[in-house]
C-alpha cells in the first residue's frame, strides 16, 4: 500500500538470498534452532504461570527463581525416564512418528523473515535463512508433512484411543488447512508475490490485518485447529481418549511431541506476524522513528508480535471449553471455508481491476472486510441454534 490508498502489487526482490558464505548459513540455522528451543522453554513456563494467574493459583515456584527452571527440570526428567515400547506396535513407524512431527516444525522457519539486512561479522545479510518465489507453498507443504507424525503415531500404537486421536487429527488437517490455505491465497493475491520477504515488504505502509481482516480472523481460528490447541485439542482429548495419539509414548518420544506442539505454535504465530502484522516492521507510533525499521530493532518488534500471539493461545486455553466434534467440523466446513472462499473472490476481483488499470481504493477493502466479518458473526449463532434444534429432534 502507498499513501495514495490504492492497491499496489510489486514483485519481490530475491537477489539478496543465496549469497551468504557457508559459515553464515550455519550460524543462521543454529540461531533459529536456539531461538525456537528457548521460546518453547519460556512458552511452557509462561503458559503455566498465566494459567495459574487466571485461575487464581500460584503455578511453578520451586525450581529456580519463581520456578523459572521448572520447564528445564521437566525436560531432564523426561529424558531420564525409561522409554517403553508396547508390544503390538508397528515399531519402525512408531519410532519414526515423533521425528516426523518435530523436524518439519523447525524446517518451516527457514523462510520466515526476522528482519532486514544487517551486518554480521562484517557481512551484509538479511535476517532470514532463505526465501523462495513460492515460500508460502513451501510453508503449506511443510505444515502438512508434520501432521503425518500425529496420524502415524496414532495408527502405529496398536491401541484404540491413539487410533481415534490420529483419525481426528486427519479430519482437522483436511478441514482447517483448506481454510488456512485460502487465507494465504488472499495474502499473496493482494501482495502480488508468494515470497515471505516480499509480503513483509508490501506491508511497509499498511499491515494486512487492516486490509484483509477476514483472512486474519480465519487464519487465527485455523492456526489453533492446526496446532491441536484448546478449544480444538480433539486429537488428545484426555476426557475422551485417555491421552489421544501419544497415549502409548513415554520418555523422549513423548517430549518430542510436546516440543513439536510448541514449536508449531511459534511457527504459526510467526506466520501470522509475517502475513498480517507487518512482519518485522515496527508498529505505530514507533514506526515514526526513522531508525525503527533498520538495524537489529526489527528483530525485537518481530519477537514481540510472536509472543503476543502465543499469549492468545494461552488465553484461549484458559477461557474456552473444548468443542464437541460435530461443532468443530461444522465450524470448519460451514463457516470458515465458505467465508474464506468468498473473501478470496473479493481480493481476486481487486487484483483483476488493478491489472486492467483501475486501482481499487483501500477503503473499499476495509469496508468489504468489516461487512464480511459482520455476516459471519450473524451467521454463526444461527448455525449454532440450528444444530441444537437438530440435536433435540
Q: Is 103 exposed, middle or buried (0-12, 13-18, 19+ CB in 10 A)?
A: middle
| pLDDT of 180 strictly over 70 | yes
**Is the residue at 10 inside a domain?**
no
| pLDDT of 8 strictly over 90 | no
**Is the residue at 6 inside a domain?**
no
CA gap 242, 237 in Å, rounded: 7
**Residue of 201, 38, 187, 37 whose CA lies nearest to 117:** 201
Our count of domains for the chain comes to: 1
**Is the residue at 5 inside a domain?**
no
Residue numbers of the domain that contains 94: 22-392
**Is the residue at 162 inside a domain?**
yes
pLDDT tens for 291-318 read: 889 889 999 999 999 999 999 999 999 8
Whether omega before 236 lies within 30 degrees of 0, making that bond cis, reads: no
For residue 18, the 8-state DSSP code is: S
CA gap 336, 359 in Å, rounded: 28
Single pTM value for the model: 0.89
How many of the other CB atoms lie within 10 Å of CB of 285?
Answer: 8
pLDDT tens for 184-229 read: 999 988 888 899 999 999 998 889 998 888 899 999 999 998 888 8
Determine phi and psi for 273, rounding to 5 degrees: -65, -40
C-alpha distances (whole Å) from 117 to each of 82, 120, 126 are: 46, 9, 4
If you average pLDDT over residues 43-57, what whole number do you get?
A: 93
**Is the residue at 55 inside a domain?**
yes
CA gap 73, 7 in Å, rounded: 51
**Is the residue at 368 inside a domain?**
yes
Instruction: Confirm if 208 and 275 have CB atoms less than 8 A apart.
Output: yes
Do strands 123-127 and 115-120 pair parallel, antiparallel, or not at all (unpaired)? antiparallel
**Is the residue at 113 inside a domain?**
yes
Amino acid at each position: 500500500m502507498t499513501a495514495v490508498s490504492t492497491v499496489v502489487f510489486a514483485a519481490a526482490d530475491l537477489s539478496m538470498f543465496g549469497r551468504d558464505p557457508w559459515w553464515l548459513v550455519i550460524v543462521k540455522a543454529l540461531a533459529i534452532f536456539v531461538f525456537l528451543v528457548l521460546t518453547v522453554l519460556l512458552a511452557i513456563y509462561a503458559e503455566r504461570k498465566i494459567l495459574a494467574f487466571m485461575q487464581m493459583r500460584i503455578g511453578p515456584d520451586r525450581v529456580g527463581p519463581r520456578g523459572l527452571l521448572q520447564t528445564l527440570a521437566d525436560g531432564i526428567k523426561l529424558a531420564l525416564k525409561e522409554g517403553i515400547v508396547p508390544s503390538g506396535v508397528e515399531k519402525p513407524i512408531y519410532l519414526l512418528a515423533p521425528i516426523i512431527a518435530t523436524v518439519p516444525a523447525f524446517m518451516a522457519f527457514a523462510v520466515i523473515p526476522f528482519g532486514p539486512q544487517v551486518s554480521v561479522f562484517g557481512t551484509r545479510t538479511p535476517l532470514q535463512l532463505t526465501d523462495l518465489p513460492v515460500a508460502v507453498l513451501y510453508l503449506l507443504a511443510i505444515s502438512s508433512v508434520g501432521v503425518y507424525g500425529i496420524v502415524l503415531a496414532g495408527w502405529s500404537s496398536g491401541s484404540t484411543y491413539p487410533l481415534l486421536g490420529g483419525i481426528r487429527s486427519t479430519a482437522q488437517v483436511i478441514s482447517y488447512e483448506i481454510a488456512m490455505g485460502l487465507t494465504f491465497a488472499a495474502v499473496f493475491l493482494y501482495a502480488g508475490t508468494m515470497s515471505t520477504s516480499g509480503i513483509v515488504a508490501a506491508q511497509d505502509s499498511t499491515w494486512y490485518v487492516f486490509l484483509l481482516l477476514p483472512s486474519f480472523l480465519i487464519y487465527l481460528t485455523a492456526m489453533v485447529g492446526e496446532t491441536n490447541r484448546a478449544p480444538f485439542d480433539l486429537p488428545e482429548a484426555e476426557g475422551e481418549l485417555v491421552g489421544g495419539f501419544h497415549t502409548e509414548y513415554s520418555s523422549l518420544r513423548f517430549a518430542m511431541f510436546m516440543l513439536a506442539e510448541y514449536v508449531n505454535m511459534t511457527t504459526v504465530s510467526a506466520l501470522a506476524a509475517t502475513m498480517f502484522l507487518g512482519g518485522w516492521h515496527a508498529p505505530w507510533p514507533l514506526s515514526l522513528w526513522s531508525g525503527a525499521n533498520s538495524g537489529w530493532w526489527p528483530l525485537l518488534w518481530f519477537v514481540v508480535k510472536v509472543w503476543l500471539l502465543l499469549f492468545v493461545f494461552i488465553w484461549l486455553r484458559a477461557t474456552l471449553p473444548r468443542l464437541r466434534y460435530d461443532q468443530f467440523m461444522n465450524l470448519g466446513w460451514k463457516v470458515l471455508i465458505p467465508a474464506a472462499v468468498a473473501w478470496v473472490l473479493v481480493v481476486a476481483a481487486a487484483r483483476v481491476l488493478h491489472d486492467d488499470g483501475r486501482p481499487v481504493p483501500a477503503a473499499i477493502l476495509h469496508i468489504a472486510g468489516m461487512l464480511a466479518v459482520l455476516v459471519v458473526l450473524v451467521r454463526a449463532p444461527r448455525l449454532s441454534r440450528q444444530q441444537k434444534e437438530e440435536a433435540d429432534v
